[in-house]
Amino acid sequence: MAASTRFSNTLRYRPDAHPNQVHLTPAYALEPIRAALGGTIELDPCTEPDNPTGAERFICLPDDGAALPWDAEAIFVNPPYAKARERWVHRCIGAATAGAHVALLIPAHTDTRIFHTALASADAVTLVQGRLKFGIPRQDGRQMAASHGSAIFTWDCDARQLEHLGTTLRR
Ligand SMILES: C[S@@+](CC[C@H](N)C(=O)[O-])C[C@H]1O[C@@H](n2cnc3c(N)ncnc32)[C@H](O)[C@@H]1O
């Protein structure tokens, strides 16, 4: 079903609170991202109540992290999936323009406008080799590999920390 997401408006426009929006960043990607941000995730603006990324500050539903201020210098964003991620990408660009270190993990959908918006702004992008195994909570407790490739966009980060995850392209 997941692979059909791009072709179904019902799935693409599903709400932020839908359970399938929860793609927890696996540790093997999270720790290099943390290192690229300088060792600490100061703000995770879209996450679960138990703060799985260990951010110093975090925002979760029912608060809207895409609408609240991001007053932080090191920000990691793995936004809710489907079409809903567009406003998060714009917030990342705004935070980076204001001087923050920002890492953004989104699907590597190279055909989409929002991917190219991020590409035109970021200092670097790491195209992850293979498919990340997100910690998607499932009834059987097993992790499932994503149905898509992933890209990690960075602004003012140490992108060398991400190189082993795939291929890193710099501006
Ligand atoms: C892809 S998951 C990422 C979770 C975590 N940050 C990580 O990387 O492991 C997206 C998270 O954003 C949360 N979320 C969805 N809409 C949100 C909103 N408007 N404000 C804050 N969090 C939101 C979801 O509940 C989900 O936990």
* pTM of the predicted structure, to 2 decimals: 0.88
> Could you report the per-residue pLDDT of 3-27, keeping only the tens digit for each?
444 445 555 555 555 555 578 899 9
The more confidently predicted of residues 58 and 146 is: 58
Domain 2-170 bears CATH identifier 3.30.2010: no
**Cα–Cα distance between 157 and 136 in angstroms, integer?**
27
The more confidently predicted of residues 12 and 162 is: 162
Contact of 28 with 20, CB cutoff 8 Å: no
**Cα–Cα distance between 151 and 116 in angstroms, integer?**
12
CB 121 less than 6 A from any atom of ligand 1? no
Contact of 36 with 159, CB cutoff 8 Å: yes
CB 23 less than 6 A from any atom of ligand 1? yes
The predicted pLDDT at position 142 comes to 60
> Could you report the per-residue pLDDT of 112-141, keeping only the tens digit for each?
999 999 999 999 999 999 999 886 656 665
